[in-house]
Chain A
């Protein structure tokens, strides 16, 4: 039997009801536009693992199934995205030139690609009970340390997801939401991760999901690799921060490694929640030192998985290493 469970076996949900003018929406015609804009974020490191900044669009060649793509916009770190002109030069985006996507409100804003939208997904299930307050402190630290240009949303989950704080640039709002969470109930990590990715996918620009969880999952209906596929398709890197407790369940730690690496993120585990400083620093550096390009895919008959490769064309940079998601599946038309 699954029912209402008690607190301590209960998760709190601070929710923001998914908006929508139901009646109005129902009675007005909906026009669906399929726009295949691909957003690709990646980092470049040298042979010693140091981030490489200062590269230009002309330094990269983006291929999709071997087909070279034309870069539409380019952004380095937290700088605003720039339109890439035919000659490779850059021009600031304006409302008129910005790419528009009917399913992604806000994409026509020139500032859409400034900073990163960071979705924090905090596991508040029974597995986290003992370390709950420490994890909360750690997340608060992480939120405070984010770049000013970044936005952050705080989601918590146990059996259900809870939108504790919607995407905001106000760190205090985010922390208020965080501090309002409560521990308890089953762990449906992959269900919650899926819903978080769905929300993140609606937001324009670069975004990441950062999961604070020790696993293991005991209640999800969806499999980690199906969720990972969604992240790949949407171009959203997943980072996972755990303590060493996660290694008690090797399957969970393997899954964490796989879904993070395949989406362009990373998995970290430290001895305790208090010792996650290195992980936070690393993620912040990733966010601040990544490149984000967008492009409209050229004609490609492949409706399945499309392999993306990012090549560095300049000779001096050939030894650099690029970390990016390996590909995506094009969205189904509707």
Chain B
């Protein structure tokens, strides 16, 4: 199809006449038009054809075109241009560009030659950064140790010890049942046992470092097998089998990946077995001596690795130091004895990542204005560098340091506001509280997680924080809170609140609490609503939202998908939701909530993707809510739900659609009028398959039957065909109970209302009901109410289908998954407006896991349910809980139907320009400060410094690897305006100027952003340009995952490079994301570099496939 389009485009160009000499600008314009219309490949062919005639202008156009698309042929095209060019200045510019491309394509030798030809001093030849580091010895191969220590084999040598340290800190020790000491976990015990076994094997390997068994009869066989924990069954020859004789040793053998099968095969075939068995040397920061100085055990015969593993605090100190940049760490090490700083290792580990010492001075947030305040707070001025940090670490068990860290991670007006000296001191007092112990760094995760979220999400306008609804609302909330006292002291203080600072002070005080900080969460959620709205919410609305937060807070993200919602409709939502919670009996309540939430979910999707026109967003939701405002029985629920479907269709311009479901599916794919009908159809088919697997009754059948029942009430005959189709569909619903034993049935205690709901449908007999109603017109009229549970499931299923994750194994395997959605929860609890959660997993007797609660978090819950069906491709890898659902979410929620080729190309240009800048800065000293300044706004000091080190070492590839796609995007955005004649930077500017409405950072944020339901209380995709968060208590890696904005930007750039159309992303991004997930090989919960590695691996695969396809196309003459 792609090839045909290309041919058509080229033929069209030939028909209008190819530009000749002097018409280069026309040709370029023509190419640009092709790019803008999604025919970039045709543009390439056009320019290639022109370039084949060899004019200087056509060669330049072609080379620059390829360069802008990151095409691998760009270097060859530039080389041809260089040959043809006669102007020496231009020749030099081409050479410079070629040198950059050489670096980007991993050819530093060529780059150096080119730079030398220009008289530019290239960076030094590449050398490993850790070459000079002191090392320690670990017995046995690194691969085996990595397996036993549960770390990724992809780590660089210098990353091994920090990864081990982290695992020891987080998983190596547990509270003892008998005393206050810590016991080693089974994990750590096994690592120790492995080291012991590895030492025995090392001894057996001898000086040569090889485990050598000449043949089956060799003397060493017995010795080796004894160490391994195996013995031979059967004599030497074909019958040899190795079997376990010592389970503990055998476990270590197989677990560490010893090539047992190969040994067995060698013995069986009487061949030589040879296995190199060298000790491994890995770098240790500052040498072993420094760390041994911090441990009481001097070790005697023990090796460093044993002492290290035996001391969790030492591990934590090492971990903390490993997060610092080399210069800072070096000064800290020299200034503070290890034994002294070890006492604060937990604070350093969690909150020291932003420490930075330059020229002896410590970095601090807030600039010169805040310097004296920091000096006062810490007790030592920042100018004293190491001393400042030592005091900061030692102060108040980490509260001040946590504030320092949170403030260092932000910038701009919010940082300026929060670091105003008096205010900062005041807020610190609130954060610190009276009792400082335990500090925020004591638990396994940072405990004051919400402080980091507050400082990130606070809205500051004109130097003042935005307090939604005004101070009085919050004052009133604290004084007359609906659920009892939040905090006695804060309540007392609230009586005197006059300024926004007063509210903020209370919120900072609440960040100390990992639980019972509801006002803080409420404030952040409502701030997020106002942040997107043109007109802030009215105080009365804010007051209602704040008071209803506990019951309905999880629904507020819905409003963020439609920032134009009026206060009236938001208040109406609260009213209707509250009314539904109290309506009817349990079954009816579940059906009402299901039908209403199903419709609101569809409305939310259509609003998010602009399928529902902005002007109709508010009135549509208002109409749906009005229909449900006073429903009292099944007939009214049915009528309200049907009216809701009609309202939605009418608002999308599809009033009177003959097949309501077919039309809704078209719209739910994410676009009203698809330009790429083929991709759109594939997306619709995916959703249809889900509905089919769930045995969903179609809206058309339900509504046709309802109409027929109305007609029956008027004396017409029942359409038996419709009734039979419904009965046949419902007959496919199988209850699991029939197959279960009594013990299993007794074990089934969950899902009572779900079962009742399903039974209600299984027992539905329309024909019987008609007979029972005889000719009573009134009763006959009400029969449509019987269809309400069926209609509910269809509406809910449409939501499930839209969010179905890649693979969707649960949806395809459990035909009752949608029907099992439990809006009520276990008996006595009311879950219908709570966040969506998974329940019932790992219970062999039940009907499988199901979702409980509202539909507000459906997309995440579905992704969470599906994640364990993904199959890791790497040894020892696992699917990364919390991070993976968010990645799936980011692949499924955004849709790219309305993204223009120019927008996608613009993102691609940014990422390529960003990479170019990092490569060029390696040899262009004048460029470096600007690049670094931008990088430091995103990356922590250690990584920014590493880039500098790699530049200095001439290892451009390593420098490029340190920067994430989101950082490249930000870097290009920062510097594009300053690049006057850069082939990429100038194109970024040209596109923005030529298409200001289409190509701008706001539109890119919407098109290629990610949903952030926890971080920003919104599923609407957006780019927030955040530093990557660490793991946080109560959120695990979820916030980190939401702050990770690189994937979609990377996919956009990749698709642009492969000359694909944006609409194809709708199919490709979920597929690519699944591959990325399956290839992640992480060592710990903050190991986002592992994610980055996987992303790049998948990218390379896509590039390879694209290149092969291009070759095939070329071979076919297309």
- Shortest CB distance B163–A (Å): 12
Q: Report if A314 contacts B (CB, 8 A).
A: no
Report Cα–Cα, A188/B247, bound state, in Å: 25
Q: Which residues of A contact B880 (CB under 8 A)?
A: 3-4
Q: Is A222 touching B809 in the complex (CB atoms < 8 A)? A: yes
Q: Which residue on A lies nearest to B865, using beta carbons?
A: A221
Report Cα–Cα, A128/B1, bound state, in Å: 52
- Shortest CB distance A327–B (Å): 13
Q: Is B254 touching A181 in the complex (CB atoms < 8 A)? A: yes
Q: Which residues of B contact A303 (CB under 8 A)?
A: 728, 732
Q: Which residue on A lies nearest to B679, using beta carbons?
A: A26
Q: Is A251 touching B1109 in the complex (CB atoms < 8 A)? A: no
Q: Which of A130, A159, A217 contacts B878 (CB 8 A)?
A: A159
Q: Which of B190, B846, B873 contacts A16 (CB 8 A)?
A: B873
Q: Is B251 touching A183 in the complex (CB atoms < 8 A)? A: yes
Q: 1/0 per position for B856-885, CB-CB distance to A under 8 A?
A: 000000000110111111111111111000
Report Cα–Cα, A334/B684, bound state, in Å: 12
Q: 1/0 per position for B166-205, CB-CB distance to A under 8 A?
A: 0100110000000000000111001000000000000000
Q: Which residues of B contact A10 (CB under 8 A)?
A: 150, 876, 878
Which of B378-393 touch A at CB < 8 Å? none
Q: Which residues of B contact A (CB under 8 A)?
A: 1-2, 147-150, 167, 170-171, 185-187, 190, 229, 241-244, 247, 250-251, 254-255, 257, 259-262, 264-265, 685, 689, 692-693, 728, 731-732, 736, 739, 741, 743-744, 747, 809-810, 813-815, 838, 841-849, 865-866, 868-882, 1036-1037, 1058, 1060, 1064, 1067-1068, 1071-1072, 1075, 1078-1079, 1082-1085, 1087, 1101-1102, 1105-1106, 1108-1109
Q: Is B685 touching A179 in the complex (CB atoms < 8 A)? A: no
Task: Given the known inter-chain contacts A10-B878, A22-B1068, please indicate yes or no for A182 contacting B868, CB distance below 8 A.
Answer: no
Report Cα–Cα, A114/B258, bound state, in Å: 35
Q: Is B1079 touching A220 in the complex (CB atoms < 8 A)? A: no
- Shortest CB distance A52–B (Å): 30
Q: Is A191 touching B871 in the complex (CB atoms < 8 A)? A: no
Which of A3-24 touch B at CB < 8 Å? 3-18, 21-24
Report Cα–Cα, A180/B261, bound state, in Å: 9
Task: Given the known inter-chain contacts A13-B876, A17-B873, A161-B871, please indicate yes or no for A222 contacting B250, CB distance below 8 A.
Answer: no
Q: Report if A175 contacts B (CB, 8 A).
A: yes
Report Cα–Cα, A216/B881, bound state, in Å: 22
Report Cα–Cα, A303/B875, bound state, in Å: 42
Known A220-B842, A220-B849; 13 more pairs at CB < 8 Å? A13-B871, A22-B1072, A23-B1058, A23-B1105, A27-B1109, A137-B243, A172-B261, A176-B261, A180-B254, A187-B842, A198-B809, A217-B842, A223-B847
Q: Is B747 touching A4 in the complex (CB atoms < 8 A)? A: no
Q: Report if A42 contacts B (CB, 8 A).
A: no
Q: Report if A243 contacts B (CB, 8 A).
A: no
10 A-B contact pairs sorted by A residue (CB < 8 Å):
A11-B878, A13-B872, A24-B1105, A136-B244, A179-B261, A217-B843, A221-B809, A221-B849, A222-B849, A254-B744
- Shortest CB distance B719–A (Å): 19
Q: Which residue on A lies nearest to B1109, using beta carbons?
A: A24
Q: Report if A252 contacts B (CB, 8 A).
A: yes
Q: Which of B1, B244, B841 contacts A134 (CB 8 A)?
A: B244
Report Cα–Cα, A275/B743, bound state, in Å: 29
Q: Which residues of A contact B170 (CB under 8 A)?
A: 6
Most buried by A among B744, B1036, B1072, B1106: B744
Q: Is A250 touching B743 in the complex (CB atoms < 8 A)? A: yes
Q: Which residue on B lies nearest to A215, using beta carbons?
A: B844
Q: Report if A226 contacts B (CB, 8 A).
A: yes
Q: Which residues of A contact B1102 (CB under 8 A)?
A: 22-23
Q: Which of B247, B689, B731 contacts A334 (CB 8 A)?
A: B689
Q: Is A159 touching B685 in the complex (CB atoms < 8 A)? A: no
Q: Is A222 touching B845 in the complex (CB atoms < 8 A)? A: no
- Shortest CB distance A65–B (Å): 15
Q: Which residue on B lies nearest to A159, using beta carbons?
A: B868
Instruction: List the 9 closest A-B pairs by CB distance, nearest first.
Output: A2-B881, A7-B150, A15-B873, A223-B848, A218-B842, A221-B849, A13-B872, A6-B171, A23-B1105
Q: Report if A67 contacts B (CB, 8 A).
A: no
Q: Which residues of A contact B869 (CB under 8 A)?
A: 161, 191, 194-195, 221
Q: Which residues of A contact B847 (CB under 8 A)?
A: 223, 225-226
Q: Which residues of A contact B1068 (CB under 8 A)?
A: 22-23, 26
- Shortest CB distance B387–A (Å): 38
Report Cα–Cα, A179/B2, bound state, in Å: 46
Q: Which residues of A contact B693 (CB under 8 A)?
A: 332
Q: Which residue on B lies nearest to A188, using beta carbons?
A: B868
Q: Is A13 touching B877 in the complex (CB atoms < 8 A)? A: yes
Which of A33-54 touch B at CB < 8 Å? none
Q: Is B814 touching A222 in the complex (CB atoms < 8 A)? A: yes
Q: Which residue on B lies nearest to A15, using beta carbons?
A: B873
Q: Is B868 touching A219 in the complex (CB atoms < 8 A)? A: yes
Q: Which of A14, A195, A250, A258 contacts B875 (CB 8 A)?
A: A14
Q: Which residues of B contact A178 (CB under 8 A)?
A: 261
Report Cα–Cα, A5/B1083, bound state, in Å: 9
- Shortest CB distance A236–B (Å): 14
Q: Which residues of B contact A332 (CB under 8 A)?
A: 689, 692-693
Q: Report if A144 contacts B (CB, 8 A).
A: yes
- Shortest CB distance A318–B (Å): 30
Q: Is A18 touching B871 in the complex (CB atoms < 8 A)? A: yes
Q: Report if A285 contacts B (CB, 8 A).
A: no
- Shortest CB distance A267–B (Å): 14
Q: Is A22 touching B186 in the complex (CB atoms < 8 A)? A: no
Which of A180-200 touch B at CB < 8 Å? 180-183, 185-188, 190-191, 194-195, 198
- Shortest CB distance A2–B (Å): 3
Task: Given the known inter-chain contacts A22-B1075, A218-B842, A223-B736, please indicate yes or no for A3 contacting B1037, CB distance below 8 A.
Answer: yes
Q: Which of A14, A15, A226 contacts B813 (CB 8 A)?
A: A226
Q: Which residues of B contact A222 (CB under 8 A)?
A: 809-810, 813-814, 848-849
Q: Which of A12, A16, A187, A230 contacts B876 (CB 8 A)?
A: A12
Q: Report if A224 contacts B (CB, 8 A).
A: yes
- Shortest CB distance A269–B (Å): 16
Report Cα–Cα, A158/B360, bound state, in Å: 51
Q: Which residues of B contact A185 (CB under 8 A)?
A: 878
- Shortest CB distance A11–B (Å): 6
Q: Which residues of B contact A188 (CB under 8 A)?
A: 842, 868
Report Cα–Cα, A130/B247, bound state, in Å: 8
Most buried by A among B846, B871, B877, B1072: B871
Q: Which residues of A contact B809 (CB under 8 A)?
A: 191, 194-195, 198, 221-222
Q: Which residue on A lies nearest to B870, using beta carbons?
A: A160
Report Cα–Cα, A27/B3, bound state, in Å: 10
Report Cα–Cα, A191/B869, bound state, in Å: 7
Report Cα–Cα, A288/B741, bound state, in Å: 33
Q: Is A160 touching B187 in the complex (CB atoms < 8 A)? A: no
Q: Which residues of B contact A255 (CB under 8 A)?
A: 744, 844-845
Q: Which residue on A lies nearest to B249, using beta carbons?
A: A133
Report Cα–Cα, A181/B2, bound state, in Å: 44
Q: Is A1 touching B882 in the complex (CB atoms < 8 A)? A: yes
- Shortest CB distance A10–B (Å): 5
Report Cα–Cα, A212/B772, bound state, in Å: 55
Q: Is A225 touching B262 in the complex (CB atoms < 8 A)? A: no
Report Cα–Cα, A221/B810, bound state, in Å: 7
Q: Is A3 touching B1085 in the complex (CB atoms < 8 A)? A: yes
Report Cα–Cα, A158/B1067, bound state, in Å: 30
Q: Report if A29 contacts B (CB, 8 A).
A: yes
Q: Is B1078 touching A17 in the complex (CB atoms < 8 A)? A: yes
Q: Is B868 touching A191 in the complex (CB atoms < 8 A)? A: yes
Q: Is A251 touching B814 in the complex (CB atoms < 8 A)? A: no
Report Cα–Cα, A218/B874, bound state, in Å: 24
Q: Which of B1, B259, B814, B881 contacts A1 (CB 8 A)?
A: B881
Q: Which residues of A contact B1101 (CB under 8 A)?
A: 22
Q: Is A223 touching B814 in the complex (CB atoms < 8 A)? A: yes
Q: Which residues of A contact B1071 (CB under 8 A)?
A: 22, 26
Q: Is B254 touching A136 in the complex (CB atoms < 8 A)? A: yes
Report Cα–Cα, A222/B259, bound state, in Å: 35
